[in-house]
Copies of this chain bind each other. A is one copy, B any other.
Amino acid sequence: MRKRLIVQKFGGSSVANVERIQNVAKRVAAYKKKGNDLVVVVSALGDTTDELIKLADQINSDPSEREMDMLLSTGEQISVALLAMAVHKLGFEAISFTGAQGGIITDAAHTRARIIKINTDKIKEELKRGRIVIVAGFQGITLNQDITTLGRGGSDLTAVALAKELGADECEIYTDVEGIYTTDPRIEPKASRISAITYDEMLEMASLGAQVMQSRSIEVAKKFNVPIHVRSSFSDKPGTMIIEEVKKMEEVVVNGVTLNKNEVKITICDVPDRTGIAAKIFNQLAANGVSVDMIVQNVSRLRQTDISFTVSKSDSQKALKLTKKVAASIKAGQVIEDHDIARISIIGVGMKSHPGVAASMFETLARNKINIEMISTSEISISCIIKKKFSEKAVKVLHEKFGLAK
């Protein structure tokens, strides 16, 4: 068998304590024993990052971003050193690297840096010596030698970027769930693990509330066609492959149902129906860093219209204030906010070639007396805004309707 190179990434919960670090070491050693090459990316131990943030906050509630990166990057440095020691204990050769030593060069946008390039020379050299290379996730260094961090989900990005740069056969993302599910198993116990999913579907899943991997790392994986395997660090079962194209005898139309209860709906009533009005509203929001999710403009009557949109809860106060200002300036009517909403979505590349999926979704909701307040569609997803109280029921009936139950 050809020697394979795999990049494995373990999140904070996989290395939360001594016992779990030892388990990761065992897994890594077992893989190495088969004669393959291995690069391991690790996050900070359990709550380390949160504790460091708390400490910083006691000293300066508005800390310099450069110093924050200096502080937080120690979390992963501790993890890689401890994991290397645990691997040594099992009799295997391993070496730990900080982001800097791993050659991960970023721009200087502290706390949300972007990877510019990766100098893999040192990693390749150590792989050639037969060592397991353990790299600190989430961090990098600028050309000026300043330590940076990559922002939320940064360790996934480190793993995917390394897999791409090293030409790895696979990038395994270890997490505390067994893969990507057709819907949230806490809501629908019949939810089943998806064995394979496309990058595009995963992007929809990620942005619509499935919190397994951050969108950014999936985008990079898609761009460079890096096969990802999301799996559990507590079992040996296969998880979910995220790949370019899923080939099946009979194409699955819908791959998953997602729910997002963290949005707020804002409606501007009686908007004068003039060209450029919508642009005026949403430019204002964008300029102030508010990202808008769904937008619906109702049918115009009497040269006036209602415009509704959703924003995340955390942005809602800011959005409301800005919207009221704009509404006054364009002589629109009342601005109403509605917190009692949920977004329910179905996702699947199959729906492109299967007409009638949308109708089937609406009909299912209607038959269950769930009123639809807003609708938005993309190439591979359909989303509806409904009342919060119907959330769980909607998930269950759609999961059933599209044959996702195990």
A residues in contact (CB < 8 Å) with B: 18, 21-22, 52, 55-56, 58-60, 63-64, 66-68, 70-71, 73-74, 77-78, 80-82, 84-86, 88-89, 95-96, 98, 100-101, 122, 145-147
Task: State whether B60 touches A88 (Cβ < 8 A).
Answer: yes
Q: How far is the CA of A59 from the CA of B89 in the complex (A)?
A: 8
Residues from chain B with Cβ under 8 Å of A64 in the complex: 84-85, 88
Task: State whether A70 touches B89 (Cβ < 8 A).
Answer: no
Q: How far is the CA of A186 from the CA of B64 in the complex (A)?
A: 43
Most chain B CB within a 10 A radius of its CB, from A64, A77, A145: A64
Task: State whether B81 touches A18 (Cβ < 8 A).
Answer: no
Task: State whether B59 touches A70 (Cβ < 8 A).
Answer: no
Q: How far is the CA of A101 from the CA of B88 in the complex (A)?
A: 29
Task: State whether A147 touches B88 (Cβ < 8 A).
Answer: no
Residues from chain B with Cβ under 8 Å of A98 in the complex: 70, 147
Q: How far is the CA of A78 from the CA of B86 in the complex (A)?
A: 24
Name the residue on B nearest A18 (C-beta): B58
Task: State whether A74 touches B67 (Cβ < 8 A).
Answer: no
CB distance from A303 to the nearest CB of B (A): 55
CB distance from A228 to the nearest CB of B (A): 28
Task: State whether B70 touches A80 (Cβ < 8 A).
Answer: yes
Residues from chain B with Cβ under 8 Å of A88 in the complex: 60, 63-64, 67
Task: State whether A85 touches B56 (Cβ < 8 A).
Answer: yes
> Given A77-B70, A88-B63, A145-B122, are A82 and B56 also a contact pair (CB < 8 Å)?
yes
> Given A60-B88, A60-B89, A122-B145, are A66 and B95 also a contact pair (CB < 8 Å)?
yes
Task: State whether B84 touches A67 (Cβ < 8 A).
Answer: yes
25 A-B interface contacts by CB (under 8 A): A18-B55, A18-B58, A18-B59, A21-B59, A22-B59, A55-B82, A56-B85, A59-B86, A60-B86, A60-B88, A63-B85, A63-B88, A66-B95, A67-B88, A68-B81, A70-B81, A70-B84, A70-B98, A71-B81, A71-B85, A73-B77, A74-B74, A98-B147, A100-B100, A101-B146
CB distance from A53 to the nearest CB of B (A): 12
Q: How far is the CA of A320 from the CA of B223 in the complex (A)?
A: 68
Q: A18-B58, A22-B59, A63-B88 are in contact. List 11 more A-B contacts (CB 8 A).
A: A21-B59, A52-B78, A59-B85, A64-B85, A67-B81, A70-B80, A70-B84, A71-B82, A74-B77, A77-B77, A100-B145
Residues from chain B with Cβ under 8 Å of A55 in the complex: 18, 82
CB distance from A74 to the nearest CB of B (A): 4
CB distance from A390 to the nearest CB of B (A): 47
A-B residue pairs, 4 tightest by C-beta: A71-B81, A74-B74, A70-B81, A60-B85
